[in-house]
Amino acid sequence: MASPDRTLAKEEQLARGPMDLPFLILTLTLLGFGLVMVLSASSASSYYESGNAVYYFLRQAIFAGGGVAILFVVSRINYQQFRWMSVFVLWGSIALLVIVLIPGVGVTRNNATRWLDLGFTQFQPSEAAKLGIILYFSARISKMRDKMGKIRHLVPFAAILLLISVLLYFEPHMSGTILILAVGAALLFAGGIKLPWVFLGGSAVVAALWVVITKTSYMASRIALWKDPWSDPLGKGFQTIQSLYAVGSGGLLGLGLGKSRQKYLYLPEEHNDFIFAIVLEELGFIGGCIVLLLFAMLILRGYWLAIHARDRFGSLLCVGITTLLAVQVFLNVGVVTNLFPATGISLPFFSYGGTALLIQLVEMGIILSVSRQIPAPKAG
């Protein structure tokens, strides 16, 4: 017979209460929508590559099914358990960022070494680093209370962000750097850092990124092509031009689901980073607005849960994950419409990528875990 102490300890490891249904429904709706678009966008390329029109869809669906199961498991964990896990996730992800840079170990594509080959799939350590930053910063900041106003307490956070940024620079992975810095800044701001330091720190980061972008040949060329993609229409500007053709072809109502023309070997990465261009081509302006509205509702609900979280740690977890989602969606849509230079940022729940999707669903599960412990409103 289990002792009362052991039973109590086991219960404390589990989250109590119902999960937030609006957040869950929005997550599953976007996931289902994304699977449909992966099937539609990849049908042409997968046919030519493997002879199987649903190759990418089946792989993505398997990861989605496993991810949803993991989401429910994570949502049942008392989110206070993520405090002690945060150190291992952060430093484990940093170790993976070092390993991927070892010659012969990391997988290189398009002159970038960002992936580790796991055999059944490939994995970007930067995805784990984003989650590591959210967990570790949330755990540390939640314990510091009024200490966030002192600059000496901010040095360790800045050092971690700098270390990860340097490792990502050597991959190179500018989009991952931008996302991690944005999430780190959001958590520090929510944690109580003074506004003058936010301004000074933000200015320093922007200046440093500008120097890196202008002095790095591959980023400088992307800036030039962003300004005028037609300067190299059959080369490096080809992807941006084809994306704009897809966006413009969709019009108000779109060509119809599955009827994209640009996916037939015109638009590169049509099932990955540029899948939103296919959404706009097939479903039109209205379809694109519906997708963005769903994302907006999910983001707003995430921040609502952050405001109503039981404690500071839970609130910071929701802020970090929701901010990561918001920035990623904003930048991906900006790249597809040529508002920003191409950065390689995927669209959450839509872009093809099994391990990235798994981590996104783990993050959604963490928010749902926080929501389980939000006190229910008392009946009047």
Distance separating alpha carbons of residues 350 and 33, to the nearest angstrom: 7
Q: Any idea what the Cα angle at residue 377 is, between residues 374 and 378, rounded to 5°?
A: 135
- Looking up tokens 């783990």 gives 362
Q: What is the pLDDT of residue 53?
A: 54
Q: Which H or E run includes 62?
A: helix 55-76
Q: What is the pLDDT of residue 171?
A: 86
Q: What is the pLDDT of residue 44?
A: 63
Distance separating alpha carbons of residues 247 and 255, to the nearest angstrom: 11
Which residues contact residue 25 at a Cβ distance below 8 angstroms, ignoring those fewer than 6 apart? none
Q: What is the pLDDT of residue 77?
A: 94
Low-confidence ranges of the chain (pLDDT < 70): 1-12, 15, 44-53, 149, 212-220, 376-380
Q: Is residue 260 within 8 Å of 246, Cβ to Cβ?
A: yes
Q: What is the pLDDT of residue 358?
A: 95
Q: Is residue 273 within 8 Å of 114, Cβ to Cβ?
A: no
Q: What is the pLDDT of residue 314?
A: 96
Distance separating alpha carbons of residues 248 and 329, to the nearest angstrom: 20
Q: What is the pLDDT of residue 329?
A: 97
Distance separating alpha carbons of residues 238 and 219, to the nearest angstrom: 16
Q: Tell me the H-state helices in 78-194.
A: 82-99, 125-144, 155-169, 174-190
Q: By C-alpha distance, which of 272, 276, 294, 275 is closest to 285?
A: 276
Q: What is the pLDDT of residue 271?
A: 86
What is the side-by-side order of every strand in the sheet holding 107-109?
107-109, 112-117, 122-123
Could you tell me the pTM of the whole model?
A: 0.91
pLDDT tens for 289-322 read 999 999 999 999 999 999 999 999 999 999 999 9
Q: Tell me the H-state helices in 145-216.
A: 155-169, 174-190, 195-215
- Bridge partner list, 77: 14
